[in-house]
Chains A and B, each alone.
Chain A
Amino acid sequence: MDLNYGTEMEDFRQEVAQFLEDNWPLKGEEKDLPFEKAAAVFRERAIEQGYLYRSIPKEYGGSEQPPDVLKGQVIREEFGKRWAPLEARGIGTMMLVPTLLERGSEWQKEKFVRPTITGEITWCQGYSEPGSGSDLASLKTRGELVDGEWLINGQKIWTSGAHLADYMFCLVRTEPGAQKHAGISYLLIDMKQPGIDVRPLRMMTGSADFNEVFLNDVRTPEDWIVGKRGEGWLVSRTTLKYERNSIGAAQQTGAAFAGLVKLAKETKIGGRPAIEDETIRERLAVLEGYVKAHEYSGYRQLTKDSKREDAGIINMMMKLFSTEIGHQTAKLSMDLIGDEGLLSAGGAELGQRSSSAQGWIGQYMYSLGIAIAGGTANIQRNVIAERGLGLPRDAAADRSSGK
């Protein structure tokens, strides 16, 4: 066991630090650019250095570096220290791009990858439907090939950012006679066309980040399909192979816990700092046990990933483990803010961490959203039990026909 990164990595860290020293924030005439513009300029330079979009080929705008989990980690750490822009987040970069690189055709990669990673175009994900949540493969939105175009009809739901997106990547039933999973195709759709009706869904926090999307005779060219007809389910499961950020989640729970301790120091119970209250101390200590376990599991996964070894069942647990810690953190914060728990979330947005009471209330509510999005906690438990522990598959899932 060695928790040092080693000389080679420390040299690399110096190199990254020097680059950041020279390049962020921007200097000279560029220093007054608005943030988004400045970030774009900076990212271009970071790509040239091989620091961002490392698994994306140069021809599509990436820096095409040999996979190195540790370098990826060092870059994130150093960029984080100086608040330098990392890769543009968003579902296009995180999900569509790796899928295209793995399964897309040449023209698709050429057309979509570069503008997606520069943030020029944005995407939304059309997966869930009103009748197809956990049982996603039962989806009913239909696509028919008519005169060289896909004609799409149906409804998607929980579509984050659909009101802003230029395009949607979408699962559509194109082979109605085929078995459930085999009847689905992965299509790309231009959102700026008649027939697409985006209606915002207001969340319990008060803000409206996600939507219902109605598709009424929506059209997309025949070759805007990723993979073959009926392969959509497999295509949608393509995951980023290289440089997975194995400790990002643990660092987030760690940061949230640090915020909670700070809150406990600043809040008073009976005229004294809450952190001096025996019950609060005990609860913080219990929670810290989980936070530490999360942290060191992250280091172990990072190591396994860097050696291209499988960390095992822990990989299936991290989402559930993070969300459970998130729940505990949120609950304790509500007890600490006391009477201010009567306030609303104040329009807090996802991922926004605020030291204000309303910021914590936003987290309290969002922690539930996170537990549901991308597979509910109960679905995560099914995955752990079936794929991780090898228990029999759910009888209901085996039987359903996908009609």
Chain B
Amino acid sequence: MNFDLTEEQQMLQETVGQLLANECPVTRLREVFDSDTGFDESLWKGLGELGILGLNVPEDFGGAGLETLDLAVVAETMGYHAAPGPFLGHALAIEAIVSGGSEAQKKKWLPDLASGARIGAVAIADSDGGWASGHWKIEPGDQVSGTQSFATGGQHADLFVVGLAGGRLGVVDAEAAGFSRQSVDGADLTRRLVALEFDRTPCELLADDDAQAARRLHDVGCVLLAADAFGGSVRLLEMSVEYAKTREQFGVKIGHFQALKHQLASMALDVEPGRGLYWYAAYAQDHVADESERIAAVAKAHMTDRYMDVARNAVEAHGGIGFTWECDVQIWFKRAMFNRAFLGHPGEHRRRQAEMAGW
């Protein structure tokens, strides 16, 4: 029994945390947040040099060949720092290709994705709503036509893994004919979304795709959002505690007031117990096949809900300043909104959770 991170995983978190603290402190984060593109090229390069962008790419294709838990601890750190950029969709695109691509396809796409030379993204939100593979309507083929909303990667992604009817997945190049994308006016400016339109756009179907790849993409996505939610919640709690220790009213630090202390304690109670839940959900993806789908749903529903609760409390704990654009809390608040809605809101996952339990 060793329900804990390995030393390597702790070092991985530290290394990524160090990079983010150096390359993207809050001052820089705010610049990226307020920029047109939401993309920080030097940060992306830095992540690539550390091997973070190919963490889940097998070693044969230039990656680190690590597991979902490794990816998740990085996602936690990204969440803590509100790291801007297309990491989430990039990791999920890799996950889909690793799971559903033929050897030739892996060889074709993975090395460039692993180095970060090309940016991967996912387009799995049907325009009529629905993130699960059953909702996808675009007919699979060498050419595809139709629309997808809320694809990741913003204006920078180079290739998209697209959800198609029947739970198939195809890869579309952003340079391809008949491909167009439009920025979405999203709340979370650290992770930009785009709406895609395909008009007889060339598409390469994943070869070994038997709907497992779609499932894997979805489950790992849930886990990474839960991990990111945990990291973000930790940060919001820290910010709120710090504020309570410095802000003075009635002649004392407001952290003296029991009403606020109890609010902060309740936030801590929303945050800390989630750590083991996301760990296990991540671990299960590679080691506990019969629990992996359900525990991913539990973690996604529970932890993104808790993140949102913590974010609302964090705004309140900061008082008037908490409601301003100037206050950093809003950046994490909007990541909480993203994590809660992306891949389906908690109620949907709880419906699946109940179904899979045979209730």
Interface residues of A (CB under 8 A from B): 1-6, 9, 70, 73, 261, 264-265, 275-276, 281-282, 284-286, 288-290, 292-300, 302-304, 306-307, 312-314, 317, 320-321, 324, 378, 380-382, 384-386, 388-392, 394-395
The residue of chain A having its C-beta at the shortest distance from the C-beta of B4 within the complex is A303
Instruction: List, in ascending order, chain B residues with CB within 8 A of A276's CB.
Output: 359
The residue of chain A having its C-beta at the shortest distance from the C-beta of B255 within the complex is A391
User: Interface SS of chain B: helix, strand, loop or mixed?
Assistant: helix
Taking a contact as CB atoms under 8 Å apart, the answer to whether B264 and A385 are in contact is yes
Q: What are 29 A-B contacts with C-beta separation under 8 Å?
A: A1-B3, A1-B6, A3-B2, A5-B1, A9-B1, A70-B1, A281-B351, A282-B350, A285-B351, A285-B353, A286-B301, A286-B350, A288-B298, A292-B302, A293-B273, A299-B280, A300-B3, A300-B275, A300-B276, A300-B279, A303-B2, A314-B273, A317-B269, A320-B269, A384-B269, A386-B261, A389-B265, A392-B252, A394-B256
The residue of chain B having its C-beta at the shortest distance from the C-beta of A325 within the complex is B273
Please give the distance in Å from B185's CB to the nearest CB on chain A. 31
A281 to B356, CA, bound (A): 12
The residue of chain B having its C-beta at the shortest distance from the C-beta of A320 within the complex is B269
B337 at interface (Cβ–Cβ under 8 A)? no
| Contacts A381-B261, A394-B258; A388 near B2 (Cβ below 8 A) | no
A389 partner, pick from B253, B264, B274, B347, beta carbons under 8 A: B264
Instruction: List, in ascending order, chain B residues with CB within 8 A of A282's CB.
Output: 347, 350-351, 354
Please give the distance in Å from A302's CB to the nearest CB on chain B. 7
The residue of chain B having its C-beta at the shortest distance from the C-beta of A383 within the complex is B265
The residue of chain A having its C-beta at the shortest distance from the C-beta of B300 within the complex is A289
Please give the distance in Å from B68's CB to the nearest CB on chain A. 11
A289 to B349, CA, bound (A): 11
| Contacts A293-B276, A384-B265, A391-B245; A300 near B353 (Cβ below 8 A) | no
| Contacts A389-B268, A391-B264; A303 near B274 (Cβ below 8 A) | no
| Contacts A282-B350, A292-B295; A3 near B256 (Cβ below 8 A) | no
B244 at interface (Cβ–Cβ under 8 A)? yes
Taking a contact as CB atoms under 8 Å apart, the answer to whether A303 and B262 are in contact is no
The number of inter-chain residue pairs (CB within 8 angstroms) is 157
A249 to B137, CA, bound (A): 47
B199 at interface (Cβ–Cβ under 8 A)? no
B261 partner, pick from A285, A321, A382, beta carbons under 8 A: A382
Instruction: List, in ascending order, chain B residues with CB within 8 A of A307's CB.
Output: 4
Taking a contact as CB atoms under 8 Å apart, the answer to whether B359 and A296 are in contact is no
| Contacts A282-B347, A381-B261, A385-B264; A296 near B277 (Cβ below 8 A) | yes
A300 to B274, CA, bound (A): 11
B31 at interface (Cβ–Cβ under 8 A)? no
Instruction: List, in ascending order, chain B residues with CB within 8 A of A297's CB.
Output: 272-273, 275-277
Please give the distance in Å from B267's CB to the nearest CB on chain A. 9
State the 9 A-B residue pairs at the shortest beta-carbon distance, nearest first. Answer: A289-B302, A296-B276, A285-B350, A385-B261, A381-B265, A299-B3, A384-B265, A293-B273, A281-B354
Please give the distance in Å from B171's CB to the nearest CB on chain A. 32
Taking a contact as CB atoms under 8 Å apart, the answer to whether A292 and B298 are in contact is yes
Taking a contact as CB atoms under 8 Å apart, the answer to whether A385 and B273 are in contact is no
Having A296-B280, A389-B264, one finds 6 other A-B pairs with CB under 8 Å, namely A3-B2, A6-B1, A261-B357, A285-B298, A289-B305, A388-B265
A40 to B8, CA, bound (A): 48
The residue of chain B having its C-beta at the shortest distance from the C-beta of A5 within the complex is B1
| Contacts A281-B354, A285-B353; A392 near B253 (Cβ below 8 A) | yes
Instruction: List, in ascending order, chain A residues with CB within 8 A of B256's CB.
Output: 391-392, 394-395
Taking a contact as CB atoms under 8 Å apart, the answer to whether B279 and A1 are in contact is yes
B245 partner, pick from A6, A294, A303, A390, beta carbons under 8 A: A390
Please give the distance in Å from A67's CB to the nearest CB on chain B. 15
| Contacts A381-B261, A388-B268; A296 near B302 (Cβ below 8 A) | no
Taking a contact as CB atoms under 8 Å apart, the answer to whether A3 and B3 are in contact is yes
B183 at interface (Cβ–Cβ under 8 A)? no
A300 partner, pick from B4, B258, B301, B347, beta carbons under 8 A: B4
Please give the distance in Å from B301's CB to the nearest CB on chain A. 6
Instruction: List, in ascending order, chain A residues with CB within 8 A of B347's CB.
Output: 282
Instruction: List, in ascending order, chain B residues with CB within 8 A of A302's CB.
Output: 1, 3
Q: Which of B298-322 contact A (CB under 8 A)?
A: 298-299, 301-303, 305
Per-residue CB contact flags for chain B residues 20-38 toward chain A (1 = under 8 Å, else 0) read 0000000000000000000
B266 at interface (Cβ–Cβ under 8 A)? yes
B109 at interface (Cβ–Cβ under 8 A)? no
Taking a contact as CB atoms under 8 Å apart, the answer to whether B301 and A1 are in contact is no
Taking a contact as CB atoms under 8 Å apart, the answer to whether B354 and A391 are in contact is no
Instruction: List, in ascending order, chain A residues with CB within 8 A of B237's CB.
Output: 389
B176 at interface (Cβ–Cβ under 8 A)? no
| Contacts A320-B269, A391-B264; A281 near B359 (Cβ below 8 A) | yes
Instruction: List, in ascending order, chain A residues with CB within 8 A of B71's CB.
Output: none
A135 to B283, CA, bound (A): 44
B341 at interface (Cβ–Cβ under 8 A)? no
Interface centre among A1, A297, A307 (most CB of B within 10 A): A1
Instruction: List, in ascending order, chain A residues with CB within 8 A of B295's CB.
Output: 292
The residue of chain B having its C-beta at the shortest distance from the C-beta of A286 within the complex is B350
A292 partner, pick from B264, B268, B277, B359, beta carbons under 8 A: B277
Please give the distance in Å from B49's CB to the nearest CB on chain A. 27
Instruction: List, in ascending order, chain B residues with CB within 8 A of A395's CB.
Output: 252, 256
Taking a contact as CB atoms under 8 Å apart, the answer to whether A321 and B1 are in contact is no
Taking a contact as CB atoms under 8 Å apart, the answer to whether A1 and B2 are in contact is yes
A296 to B244, CA, bound (A): 30
The residue of chain B having its C-beta at the shortest distance from the C-beta of A296 within the complex is B276
A286 to B301, CA, bound (A): 8
Instruction: List, in ascending order, chain A residues with CB within 8 A of B272's CB.
Output: 297, 312-314, 317
Please give the distance in Å from B250's CB to the nearest CB on chain A. 11
Instruction: List, in ascending order, chain B residues with CB within 8 A of A288's CB.
Output: 298, 353
Taking a contact as CB atoms under 8 Å apart, the answer to whether B262 and A378 are in contact is yes
Taking a contact as CB atoms under 8 Å apart, the answer to whether A296 and B265 are in contact is no
Interface centre among B4, B69, B347 (most CB of A within 10 A): B4
Instruction: List, in ascending order, chain B residues with CB within 8 A of A312's CB.
Output: 272
B5 at interface (Cβ–Cβ under 8 A)? yes
A364 to B277, CA, bound (A): 27
B268 partner, pick from A1, A384, A394, beta carbons under 8 A: A384
Taking a contact as CB atoms under 8 Å apart, the answer to whether B351 and A299 are in contact is no
A382 to B255, CA, bound (A): 11
B94 at interface (Cβ–Cβ under 8 A)? no
Please give the distance in Å from B359's CB to the nearest CB on chain A. 5
Taking a contact as CB atoms under 8 Å apart, the answer to whether A389 and B350 are in contact is no
Instruction: List, in ascending order, chain A residues with CB within 8 A of B354's CB.
Output: 281-282, 284-285
A297 to B271, CA, bound (A): 11
B125 at interface (Cβ–Cβ under 8 A)? no
Taking a contact as CB atoms under 8 Å apart, the answer to whether B353 and A390 are in contact is no
The residue of chain B having its C-beta at the shortest distance from the C-beta of A396 within the complex is B258
Please give the distance in Å from A71's CB to the nearest CB on chain B. 11
Taking a contact as CB atoms under 8 Å apart, the answer to whether A317 and B351 are in contact is no
A282 to B350, CA, bound (A): 6
Instruction: List, in ascending order, chain B residues with CB within 8 A of A3's CB.
Output: 1-3, 283
